[in-house]
C-alpha cells in the first residue's frame, strides 16, 4: 500500500489527506493542533469541504497525530502549513520553518517532499531546502523536492482536487517526474513548469489577478456612487461581451486566508529586486478601503431616513468572507461591524454558517428576529439559502453590498453598493 504524509491538516491539508486515503493510500497526517487531531479521531470534520461521513469512510486509511516520527515511513510528504503575514505585513514563514525542521529530523533517503503552501518565489529552494538538508541528505540526490500550489476554492463543488489541473515545479527533472506521478493518484491533469520558482509565482499571479480585478471594479463602484450610475447594471452589460472581458463584482472588500495576504508575499519579495509592485499595493489599498466606503453607505442610507448610526439597530446578514462557508478569517464583515460599533450602532448578525463571533462577543440571531428588529439590514455576504428578497420585503431598510436584490431594484427601502 502506498504511504503519503500530510503536514498541516487545515483547509488545504485535510481534503488532500482524505483524497489520497480515498484512493486507497495509507495517509499519515500531522498537525501541531491537538484539538484537530482529536476531532479527526472522533470522526468530526472541522472543514466544510470534508464531511463526517467522508472521514468515517477513510478512518482505516487515515492515521493522524501530532508527532512527526511516523512520517519516516511515507514515500511522499506534502506540506500544507499556514503562510500568514506578520504584524508589519511581511511574510511569516514561522510555521513552514518549524515544519521543515521537524521533518528534517525524520527525513529518509528516497522520500519526496512537496510544499503546497502559498509563498513567494524562492521559498522552496532558499528556505525549505536548507532546512531539509540539515538531515544530512542532499536535495535532488537523496530526496526529491518540488513545489505544487493548492488551488482549492472552499465551498466550491463544480471543480474538485481531481478536476482542477495541478501545477508542479520540481527542483530537478526527476523531482518533477516523481511529484507528478504521486499527484497523479488524486489529480487528472498535472501541469509541469520548469522550476519551483515558476510554480510559486504561478499561484501568486492567480491571486494577484483576482485582487487587482476586484480592486478595479471596487474603485468603479465608489465612482459610480458619486456619478449616480448603477455599477451592477454596468458590470452586467459589460459581461455580455463574449471576449476580452471577465466579470468581477464589487463588494465590501476581500477576506479569507489568501486574497488579503498572498499578494503581499510577492510585493515583499519584489523589494529585494529593487521593484515596487504597484498594482499589488494599489489593489490592496483600494480593497482595504471598501469596508469604510460600505459603512459610509449605511450611514448615508440611515441619514436619508432621518436616522443616525448612533443608537441604530443594525443587522449584518452574512459575516463569513464568502458565500457558502463559515470561515470568517479577514472577513470584511468584522471590520464593518467594528466600524459601526465605533459609531455607536447596536449590531447583531445573521449567518447560517457562523453560529458565533467570539472575537466580537456576538452570537448569531435567527433570521426572523434579526430582520424584524433592525432599523437597517446590511447584506455583506450573500449565502445561498438566505432569502434576500424576503429581507427586502420585511426589513425597514436594506443596504445591499452584493447586488443580490437587483430584481427588487425599484424597492424604496433598498440602497445598493
Ligand atoms: N484555504 C484556502 O482556501 C487555500 C487555498 C489555496 C492555498 N492555501 C494555502 O495553503 C496553506 C495552508 O492554508 P490553510 O487554509 O489550509 O491553513 P489552515 O490554518 O486551515 O491549516 C494549516 C494547518 O497547519 C497546522 N500547522 C501549523 N504549523 C504546523 C507545523 N509546524 N506542523 C504541523 N502542522 C502545523 C495548523 O495547526 C493548521 O491546522 C497556506 O499557505 C495558504 O495560503 C489556502
φ/ψ region of 253 (left if φ > 0, alpha if ψ in -120 to 50, else beta) reads: left
**What value, to the nearest 5°, has the Cα angle with vertex 322 and ends 326 and 359?**
50
Q: Has residue 87 got a pLDDT over 90?
A: no
Q: How far is the CA of 359 from the centre of ligand 1 (A)?
A: 21
Look up the pTM and report it.
0.93
The dihedrals phi and psi of 166, each to the nearest 5 degrees, come to -105, 120
* Average pLDDT score over the chain: 95
CA of 164 to the centre of ligand 1 (A): 19
- Atom number in ligand 1 closest to CA 152: 5
The pLDDT assigned to 234 comes to 97
pLDDT of residue 287: 95
Q: What is the dihedral of CA 176, 178, 184, 190, to 10 degrees?
A: 10
pLDDT tens track for 363-412: 999 999 999 989 999 999 999 999 999 999 999 999 999 999 987 667 78
Residue owning the nearest CA to atom 11 of ligand 1: 117
Q: What pLDDT score was predicted for residue 257?
A: 80
Average pLDDT over residues 90-95: 97
Distance (Å) from CA 12 to ligand 1 centroid: 6
Average pLDDT over residues 284-306: 96
Q: How far is the CA of 366 from the centre of ligand 1 (A)?
A: 32
Percent of residues, the chain, with pLDDT higher than 90: 92
Residue partners of 372: CB distance under 8 A and separation at least 6: 394
d(CA 226, CA 250): 15
Q: Average pLDDT for residues 269-298, to the nearest whole number?
A: 96
Q: Which pLDDT does position 153 carry in this prediction?
A: 83
The helix/strand count (H/E) of the chain reads as: 13, 15
The residues annotated as belonging to the active site are 258
Q: Residue 252 in contact with residue 217, Cβ under 8 Å?
A: no
Task: Output the CA–CA distances (angstroms, integers) from residue 22 to 15, 75, 236, in the order listed.
Answer: 10, 17, 41
| pLDDT computed for residue 183 by the predictor | 98
Q: For a substitution probing ligand 1, which of 36, 69, 81, 118 has the most ligand atoms within 8 Å of its CB?
A: 81
Q: Could you report the per-residue pLDDT of 6-56, keeping only the tens digit for each? A: 999 999 999 999 999 999 999 999 999 999 999 999 999 998 889 999 999
Question: What mean pLDDT do residues 210-239 have?
Answer: 96
| pLDDT recorded at residue 408 | 66
* pLDDT tens digits along 307-334: 999 999 999 999 999 999 899 999 999 9
Q: Given ligand 1 and candidates 82, 93, 127, 260, which is best to mutate, with the most ligand atoms within 8 Å of its CB?
A: 82
Q: Measuring from atom 15 of ligand 1, which residue has the nearest CA?
A: 11
Q: 37: Cβ below 6 Å to ligand 1?
A: no
d(CA 229, CA 226): 8
| Cell matching residue 171 | 527542483
Q: Is the CB of 62 under 6 A from ligand 1?
A: no
**Would the CB of 83 count as within 6 Å of ligand 1?**
yes
| pLDDT value at 304 more than 70 | yes
Confidence of residue 260 (pLDDT cuts 50, 70, 90): confident
Secondary structure class of 81 (helix, strand, coil): coil
- Does residue 71 line the site of ligand 1, with CB under 6 A? no
Task: Quickly state the pLDDT bin for 336 (edges 50, 70, 90).
Answer: very high
Residue of 6, 33, 80, 128 with the most ligand 1 atoms within 8 Å of its CB, for mutation: 80
Distance 189 CA to ligand 1 centre (A): 23
Q: Is the pLDDT of residue 155 over 80?
A: no
Res. 344 pLDDT band, cuts 50 70 90: very high
For ligand 1, atom 24, name the residue with the nearest CA.
Answer: 8
* C-alpha to C-alpha distance for 88 and 264, rounded to whole angstroms: 11
3-state secondary structure of 184: coil
Amino acid at each position: 500500500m502506498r504511504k503519503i504524509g500530510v503536514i498541516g491538516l487545515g483547509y488545504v491539508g485535510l481534503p488532500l489527506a482524505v483524497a489520497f486515503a480515498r484512493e486507497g493510500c495509507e495517509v499519515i497526517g500531522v498537525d501541531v493542533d491537538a484539538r484537530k487531531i482529536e476531532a479527526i479521531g472522533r470522526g468530526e470534520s472541522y472543514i466544510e469541504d470534508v464531511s463526517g461521513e467522508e472521514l468515517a469512510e477513510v478512518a482505516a486509511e487515515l492515521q493522524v497525530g501530532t508527532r512527526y516520527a511516523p512520517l519516516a515511513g511515507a514515500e511522499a510528504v506534502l506540506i500544507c502549513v499556514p503562510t500568514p503575514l506578520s504584524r508589519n505585513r511581511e511574510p511569516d514563514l514561522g510555521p513552514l520553518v518549524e515544519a521543515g525542521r521537524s521533518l528534517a529530523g525524520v527525513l529518509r533517503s528516497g522520500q519526496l517532499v512537496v510544499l503546497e503552501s502559498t509563498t513567494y518565489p524562492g521559498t522552496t529552494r532558499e528556505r525549505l531546502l536548507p532546512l531539509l538538508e540539515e538531515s544530512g541528505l542532499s536535495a535532488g540526490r537523496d530526496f526529491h523536492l518540488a513545489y505544487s500550489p493548492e488551488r482549492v476554492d472552499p465551498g466550491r463543488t463544480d471543480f474538485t482536487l481531481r478536476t482542477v489541473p495541478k501545477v508542479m515545479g520540481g527542483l530537478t527533472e526527476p523531482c518533477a517526474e516523481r511529484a507528478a506521478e504521486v499527484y497523479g493518484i488524486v489529480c487528472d491533469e498535472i501541469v509541469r513548469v520548469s522550476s519551483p520558482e515558476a510554480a510559486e509565482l504561478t499561484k501568486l499571479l492567480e491571486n494577484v489577478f483576482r485582487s487587482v480585478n476586484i480592486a478595479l471594479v471596487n474603485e468603479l463602484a465608489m465612482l459610480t456612487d458619486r456619478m449616480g450610475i448603477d455599477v451592477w447594471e454596468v458590470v452586467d452589460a459589460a459581461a455580455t461581451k463574449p471576449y476580452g472581458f471577465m466579470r468581477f463584482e464589487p463588494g465590501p472588500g476581500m477576506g479569507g486566508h489568501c486574497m488579503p495576504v498572498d499578494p503581499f508575499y510577492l510585493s515583499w519579495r519584489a523589494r529585494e529586486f529593487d521593484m515596487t509592485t504597484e498594482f499589488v499595493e494599489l489593489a490592496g489599498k483600494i480593497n482595504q478601503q471598501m469596508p469604510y466606503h460600505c459603512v459610509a453607505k449605511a450611514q448615508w442610507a440611515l441619514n436619508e431616513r432621518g436616522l443616525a448610526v448612533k443608537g441604530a439597530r443594525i443587522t449584518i446578514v452574512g459575516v463569513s468572507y464568502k458565500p457558502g462557508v463559515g470561515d470568517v478569517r479577514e472577513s470584511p464583515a468584522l471590520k464593518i461591524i467594528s466600524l459601526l460599533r465605533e459609531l455607536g450602532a447596536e449590531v447583531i448578525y445573521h449567518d447560517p454558517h457562523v453560529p458565533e463571533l467570539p472575537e466580537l462577543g456576538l452570537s448569531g440571531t435567527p433570521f426572523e428576529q434579526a430582520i424584524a428588529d433592525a432599523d437597517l439590514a446590511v447584506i455583506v455576504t450573500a449565502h445561498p439559502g438566505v432569502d434576500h428578497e424576503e429581507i427586502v420585503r420585511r426589513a425597514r431598510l436594506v443596504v445591499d453590498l452584493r447586488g443580490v436584490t437587483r430584481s427588487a431594484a425599484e424597492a424604496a427601502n433598498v440602497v445598493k453598493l
